Amino acid sequence: MRKYRIKGGIPLSGAVDISGAKNAVVAILPAALLADEPCRVENIPNIKDVAVSLKLLESLGAKVTHIDDNTVEIDPTTVGTCEVNDDLARNMRASYYFIGALLGKHGRARVPMPGGCWFGERPIDLHLKGFRALGAEVTPLENDCIEVCSNQLMGNSIYLDTVSVGATVNIMLAAVRAMGMTIIENAAKEPHIVDLANFLNTMGADIRGAGTDVIKIRGTQYLHSATYSIIPDQIEAGTYMAMAVATKGDVLVRNVIPKHLESITAKLIEMGAIVEEMDDAVRVRCSDTLQHCNIKTMPHPGFPTDMQPQIAVLLSTAQGVSHITEGIWENRYRYVDELRLMGADIEVRGNTATITGVPQLTAADVMAVDLRAGAAMVIAGLAAEGTTEIGNIRYIERGYENIVNKLTRLGAEISLIEVPDEA
């Protein structure tokens, strides 16, 4: 098994460059299928979820040309099927965005139900409600696939009972070429929603209100070529900010949009860190013992659920008792058992975790149980006394480009090792 081995206790220092946003690129790559001409996407991160997305595009017949490590050109005019490759799609939850894109452009999509991280029920009822509202027929198929078809999608008003990033994205993808106006109410407002809308509008789509809770999409019959650069990853940036704080370091986190980090910055300052904002960077320093605080994860612009495991690591050695309330997912505390192995004192009841600060975490052999839980284990390893080994790093590689190189350049002692799988 491949693992990260981390020698903890070294304050990080220097500068780190943030990559393109995972949750934007996994929506924008399928969105390229909606165009009538080739599109060029820049600043894509070199992560597993991008590799899967590009393979899915090729499996549909689209032509993918790698211009450089972080730039691809996608020619959707050669697409020959609307049936998504099962084995590939089951590797990544966001493969369900291909439903909205294929339905929007070709009037049909056959896709397996999503895979990806497991933290409780992850339904797609709101996605299907949106497709049906646009006039599509949804048919469950054998071996856990669905088929969504429509001869002509018609714009409609759709109210999302729960704020859902995925449903907002998928409905936008299906609606962008529908006849007439579609209004999504109670829409998600995450930065990656705005990024997708900007990409589609660069192609000639007519989407207004992205970033607010009402998005209006007037169907457009022709979408031309576009060149677009993905926004920086808000969660990768937040993760490196947390690493700087956890190691009592001094790190310049570059290529960020500070406004996207507001809720994270506010909480780190509340805990006692120093965060200086610049145009496209934040400098994060921390020398004192952190203070406890309470966190409630909410849809954007609230504190992001994808930073919940990472902030829990910081609170594990903060002075006093902190409370985290997970407001999005029903069970996003599977990392707690791993953190307890390193000496954390955390009690979980329902969607609330109570964290009593301990002076220091201690190194242990732990596992990444999902993408952001894995990132949290890296933070814990960087902070802990001793050498930590982290298994199941494939989760971490789904969302963090070059994490070993980036951390090494910040002074961390981290290496990728291969150990025989336990019998």
- Site of interaction with ligand EPZ (CB under 6 A): 22-23, 26, 94, 117, 121-127, 162, 164-167, 188, 305-306, 328-329, 371-372, 399
Sheet holding 274-277, edge to edge: 13-17, 250-254, 281-285, 274-277
Contacts of 136 (CB under 8 A, 6+ apart): 103, 148, 149, 150, 153, 174
Considering the complex, state which of residue 177 and residue 192 has its C-beta at the smaller distance from ligand EPZ: 192
Cβ within 8 Å of residue 100, ≥6 positions away: 30, 109, 127, 131, 169, 170, 171, 172, 173, 174
Least Å from the CB of residue 248 to ligand EPZ:
26
Structure tokens, 153: 């999608």
- What is the strand order of the sheet 214-218 is part of? 157-159, 181-185, 214-218, 206-208
Q: Which is nearer to ligand EPZ, 132 or 409 (CB)?
A: 132
Nearer to ligand EPZ, 306 or 338 (CB): 306
* Eight-state DSSP code of residue 290: P
Specify the residue, 85 or 351, whose C-beta has the smaller distance to ligand EPZ. 351
Which of 167, 342 has the CB closer to ligand EPZ?
167
Cα of first residue to Cα of last residue in the chain, in angstroms, is: 11
Query: In the complex, what is the shortest distance from the CB of residue 107 to ligand EPZ, in angstroms, rounded to a whole number?
Result: 22
Q: What backbone phi and psi angles, to 5 degrees, belong to 274?
A: -110, 120
Give residues with Cβ within 8 angstroms of 355, minimum separation 6: 292, 312, 315, 316, 318, 321, 322, 323, 324, 344, 345, 346
Taking CB atoms, the residue at the shortest distance from ligand EPZ is 166
Q: How far is Cα 326 from Cα 313, in angstroms, rounded to an integer?
A: 15
With tokens 């669905």, the residue in question is: 146
Is 117 noted as a catalytic residue in this protein? yes
Which residues on neighbouring strands pair with residue 284, listed in sequence order?
251, 275
Helix, strand, or coil (residue 24)? helix
C-beta of 10 vs 175, nearer to ligand EPZ: 175
Catalytic residue among 117, 145, 149, 293: 117
Phi, psi (degrees; rounded to nearest 5) at 36: -95, 0
What is the pairing mode between strands 352-356 and 345-349? antiparallel
DSSP characters for 52-76? HHHHHHHHTT-EEEEEETTEEEEEG
Q: How far is the CB of 94 from ligand EPZ (least distance, A)?
A: 4
Please give the single-letter amino acid code of residue 213.
D
Whole-angstrom Cα distance, residue 97 to residue 93?
9
**What are the CA-CA distances from residue 215 to residues 186, 194, 219, 342 (Å)?**
9, 10, 13, 45
Considering the complex, state which of residue 11 and residue 199 has its C-beta at the smaller distance from ligand EPZ: 199
Q: Smaller CB distance to ligand EPZ: residue 94 or 223?
A: 94
Find the shortest distance in angstroms from Cβ 168 to ligand EPZ.
8
- Quick check: 31 and 57 in contact, CB under 8 A? no
Q: Cβ of residue 420: shortest distance to ligand EPZ, in angstroms?
A: 30
The minimum distance between CB 393 and ligand EPZ, in angstroms, equals: 15
> Nearest distance from residue 159's CB to ligand EPZ, in Å?
13
Q: Shortest approach of ligand EPZ to residue 221 CB, angstroms?
A: 28
Active site residues: 117
